[in-house]
Amino acid sequence: MNMKKPLVVITGASSGFGAEIAKLFNQEDYPMLLLGRRTEKIKGLPLNFDDSFVDSVDVTDIDALKASIKKAEAIYGPTDLLVNNAGVMLLGNVQNQPATEWKTMLDTNVLGVLNGMQAVLSEMMERKHGTIINMSSLAGRKTFTNHAAYVASKFGVHGLSETIREEVSSYNVRVSLVAPGAAETELLTHVTDQHALSDYQAWKDSMGGITLDPARVAQTVKFIYDMPQEVNIREIDIAATRQD
Ligand code: NDP
């Protein structure tokens, strides 16, 4: 068991950015709690699982999330980094998108982040040490067609992150945001509106098929965390150069 490095908790570790973030921290032997609903996907990642816990947790279930983090902390000590990465993007326009899709996005992208923060904040404030990195999006800074509810959720992540950062900064706890542009992950696979999907593809094609390598987002998370504790990078926006 590796007791030298502190515990890193990553939500949405089963694919996309979360899986890449897990790989980077794993390479440096951080003990990790890797969360997602599809644990078989996490277990299939090319990681050394000696010091990694994998748990099936839905981030909208605050009790399950807290219980899982508590279990990992009993073994590895307090969480030093929480990456609130789990999220969904269900494109559509408000006139005809099922309201259940808005609810899924707001529950996962906004409440899921708040749930994660509540699970670790008191302990971090008590220890006067800790970092929370929330995965937002450029859609948390600007609008995109067919993204109304997603934009609402990611503007929410920006707002809540900065508010909480201000509240906990005097406790030496860092709160940071990463706001990526479009990247190739499983994110689009849940979109049910085929028109919105083809609009999105046409937008990407219009910029030469932009793709941001998810590994670059992982590097960004690591860069933020690796700064000394007295330095809080509040936000990094990262996108493919050709993205408008
Ligand atoms: P993926 O779909 O590849 O990954 C999303 C992850 O979130 C999965 O691991 C999924 O795990 C997890 N997840 C979704 N819902 C829940 C839930 N209710 N409980 C627990 N885990 C959940 O997409 P990305 O890697 O692209 O997305 C990661 C984050 O990056 C999201 O917040 C997204 O909004 C953001 N983002 C993505 C961009 C992109 O273009 N790809 C651009 C900007 C931001 P499982 O299904 O196993 O539960």
For the Cβ of 161 lying below 6 angstroms from any atom of ligand 1, the answer is no
User: Measuring CA to CA, how many Å separate 233 from each of 15, 115, 138?
Assistant: 25, 22, 17
Tell me: pLDDT of 13 over 70: yes
DSSP 129-151: --EEEEE--GGGTS--TT-HHHH
Is residue 1 assigned to a domain? no
DSSP state of 169: G
Which positions are catalytic? 150, 154
Is residue 96 assigned to a domain? yes
Domain that holds residue 61: 7-238
Tell me: pLDDT of 2 over 60: no
C-alpha of residue 93 to centroid of ligand 1, in Å:
21
Q: pLDDT for 83-141, tens place per residue?
A: 999 999 999 999 999 999 999 999 999 999 999 999 999 999 999 999 999 999 999 99
Q: pLDDT for 14-71, tens place per residue?
A: 999 999 999 999 999 999 999 999 999 999 999 999 999 999 999 999 999 999 999 9
C-alpha of residue 232 to centroid of ligand 1, in Å:
24
Q: pLDDT for 172-213, tens place per residue?
A: 999 999 999 999 999 999 999 999 999 999 999 998 877 899
- CATH value at residue 45: 3.40.50.720
Is residue 172 assigned to a domain? yes
pTM, two decimals, is 0.98
Give the per-residue pLDDT at 127: 98
The pLDDT-based confidence of 3 (bands split at 50, 70, 90) is low
The pLDDT-based confidence of 158 (bands split at 50, 70, 90) is very high
C-alpha of residue 206 to centroid of ligand 1, in Å:
25
Q: pLDDT for 58-81, tens place per residue?
A: 999 999 999 999 999 999 999 999
Is residue 59 assigned to a domain? yes
For the Cβ of 126 lying below 6 angstroms from any atom of ligand 1, the answer is no
What domain count does the chain have? Answer: 1
Half-sphere exposure of 212 (CA within 13 A, CB side): 24
For the Cβ of 185 lying below 6 angstroms from any atom of ligand 1, the answer is yes
**CA 158 to centroid of chain Cα atoms:** 12
C-alpha of residue 11 to centroid of ligand 1, in Å:
9
For the Cβ of 88 lying below 6 angstroms from any atom of ligand 1, the answer is yes
For the Cβ of 132 lying below 6 angstroms from any atom of ligand 1, the answer is no
Ligand 1: residue of 9, 10, 15 to mutate (most ligand atoms within 8 A of CB) is: 15
